[in-house]
Amino acid sequence: MDNEYDQLHELMAKHNLLSLFEHLTFRQKVAKVMKGLKADKESGEYKYARLQITRLSAPLSAVLVPVIGLGLLSLLATLAPERDASVEVQMVEEIDPEALEDIEDLEDEPIEPPEPIEMEDFTPDAPPSEINDMMDAPATEVAQETAAFEEVAMVKSPVVMRGILGNRGAGARASAIGQFGGSGVTEGAVLRALRWLKSQQQPDGSWKKNKTAMTSLALLTFLAHGETPASEEYGPTVERAIKFLVSAAGKNKLFAGNYEKPICTYAVCEAYALTKVPMLKEIAEKNIDAVIKGQHPSGGWDYNLRVSTRDDTSYMGWCVQALKAGKMAGIKNPKLGDAMKLAIKGMQKNAHPQGGFGYTSPDQGGLTGVGVLSMQFLGAANKPECKRGLDYLAQNATFNWREPWGHSPVYYWYYTTQAKFHAGGNTWQQWNGMFSRELVRNQTVLKGASEDGKDMGFWDSPGEKEHGDGRVMDTCLCALQLQVYYRYLPTFKTPKAIEEDEDLVSDMDEIEIDITI
């Protein structure tokens, strides 16, 4: 055993293997490694030195390599071009409407509700030199069942209208009220009227007596306030009214009756503009076409849209409003523009040389407001007939509830108020100070009578003779006057009136719609 050990020890010494087991200091190891690196590459000393370098460098590499990598990444980041982190946005100025005073009643003597007035069916309220009553045709009965909900396909998302209908949104409405001379007092009367109209709606969605015409006027009153089927308080009311009119149009999508035809067309076109209900578009298109086909070569219209030589200014006023509403709603008809230009000639035919508009011939009287407003809507505000009509109104039109103007004052005032608003300037300022206070004072207020305990209100015309639909129609026409501040953009704010040889379809009529989900 000892002999074998000696032989192994001798062999290891011969090949210098015993040096592997020697205990060397760190300095000695470094010196040995340095010496080995200088030795022959095939020798054991050189291989030993390489082994030691590899063994000692492994931990150092594990630390240095990540550090060097991070350094390189940082260097590359600093050398890379700086990326623009900005996002292009469009700043929209926030609407900051002029503050309205609180809605309150006028401080005045208590208003005693008038005795109910029993109205007869529609009869002419003045001789032909003035005005045949608005609703002389018998009431048109329609089926009590409303259209199926799927047929109407109500749009529940609110629609924000720009352009000529742009002031009906809540913020724009408040701003327009302050800008054009309204107040919290006038708006309070409007809200009381809307609550009263809501309370008078029948289960089938209509209003009495002449259902289609009164439903159309009531719907126009809610639409003027920006109410749609999506509205929280009046949405169901508006929806039922639209369904009733869809049902009343019937399978052929055409309205029956006399004045009902243009008035219902007017309401359906506005309803389509504000709601985009597809069913309304088809009805609006068919009835706009019927109004156009009923126009005379002279430019006017007669009862029941019949073709004749009789041009009725009162009836023409509703036809013009219907065509204008169809234009604003984007209803497509290749003859619409020509019909509106021709309607200017129809109004001019009944214009008096000294100012004013007659009933079926050149004359003066309460229908002057109809002629002036119609020409303003048709883009003919600069025509001499329109200017002379405004001069006539300045000298003759009054707004005094106790001494009313003519036999149908509310009907006359409905047009005159709008005509003066669209004229603007001192014409509007003087009238505004007169009509708004009179209307608010003479509203019959029902304290706490609504379902939620709020006040309601209505109007009864002070005229000697009035139509058979009485209170509903009077309330609608009076409320629409108090909504004049925001219902349409005034025509004096739009491009100047067109000339006869210019295209009636102007940029001011275009409507841009943003649907807010």
Residue range 87-132, pLDDT digits in tens: 443 444 444 444 444 544 444 434 333 333 333 333 333 333 333 3
Q: What percent of the chain has pLDDT over 70?
A: 70
Q: What percent of the chain has pLDDT over 90?
A: 58
Where does the pLDDT of residue 14 fall: very low under 50, low under 70, confident under 90, or very high at 90 and above? Answer: low
**Is the residue at 207 inside a domain?**
yes
Residues 51 and 183 in one domain: no
Tokens of 473: 């129609």
Say whether pLDDT at 276 is over 80.
Answer: yes
pLDDT at 50: 76
Contacts of 201 (CB under 8 A, 6+ apart): 207, 218, 237, 240, 241
C-alpha distances out from residue 286 to 111, 280, 299, Å: 45, 10, 20
Residues 185 and 54 in one domain: no
**Is the residue at 358 inside a domain?**
yes
Contacts of 227 (CB under 8 A, 6+ apart): 194, 233, 234, 235, 237, 238
Its sign, for the CA torsion 301, 305, 310, 316, is: negative
Residues 235 and 354 in one domain: yes
Its sign, for the CA torsion 341, 342, 345, 347, is: negative
C-alpha distances out from residue 485 to 182, 220, 296, Å: 7, 15, 34
Q: Are strands 444-446 and 456-458 parallel, antiparallel or unpaired?
A: antiparallel
Biggest CA-to-CA distance, the chain: 155
**Is the residue at 316 inside a domain?**
yes
Q: Report the chain's C-alpha Rg in angstroms.
A: 42
Domain boundary among 69, 104, 119: 69
**Is the residue at 125 inside a domain?**
no
Q: Domain of 504: which CATH number?
A: 1.50.10.20
**Alpha helix stretches (DSSP H) within 201-303:** 211-224, 235-249, 260-275, 278-293
Residues 307 and 430 in one domain: yes
Distance CA 342, CA 41 (A): 112
| 142 φ/ψ sector (left φ>0, alpha ψ -120 to 50, else beta) | beta
Q: Which strand (E) or helix (H) includes residue 514?
A: strand 513-515
Cβ atoms of 349 and 311 within 8 Å: the answer is yes
Q: Dump pLDDT digits (tens) for 245-273.
A: 999 999 999 999 999 999 999 999 999 99
Tokens of 360: 């079926």
Residue 227 phi, psi (nearest 5):
-85, 135
Provide the residue count of the chain: 517
Residue with tokens 């058979």, as numbered in its chain: 468
Domain boundary among 39, 69, 99: 69
Residue 397: closest CA among 377, 375, 373 = 373
pLDDT at 18: 54
Residues 378 and 504 in one domain: yes
Residues 38 and 155 in one domain: no
Distance CA 330, CA 345 (A): 24
**Is the residue at 112 inside a domain?**
no
**Is the residue at 226 inside a domain?**
yes
**Is the residue at 415 inside a domain?**
yes
Q: Dump pLDDT digits (tens) for 152-205.
A: 445 443 333 444 566 888 889 999 999 999 999 999 999 999 999 999 999 999
User: ∠ CA 27-28-33 to the nearest 5 degrees?
Assistant: 100
Residues 390 and 497 in one domain: yes
List strand residue ranges (DSSP E) for 372-486, in order. Answer: 444-446, 456-458
Residue 467 phi, psi (nearest 5):
-75, 165
Domain boundary among 47, 69, 91: 69
User: ∠ CA 247-250-253 to the nearest 5 degrees?
Assistant: 110
Residues 21 and 154 in one domain: no
The whole domain housing 217 covers 149-515
SS3 state of residue 351: strand
Distance CA 98, CA 168 (A): 16
Residues 206 and 348 in one domain: yes
Residues 262 and 411 in one domain: yes
The domain total for the chain is 2
Say whether pLDDT at 400 is over 70.
Answer: yes
Cβ atoms of 271 and 279 within 8 Å: the answer is no
**Is the residue at 344 inside a domain?**
yes
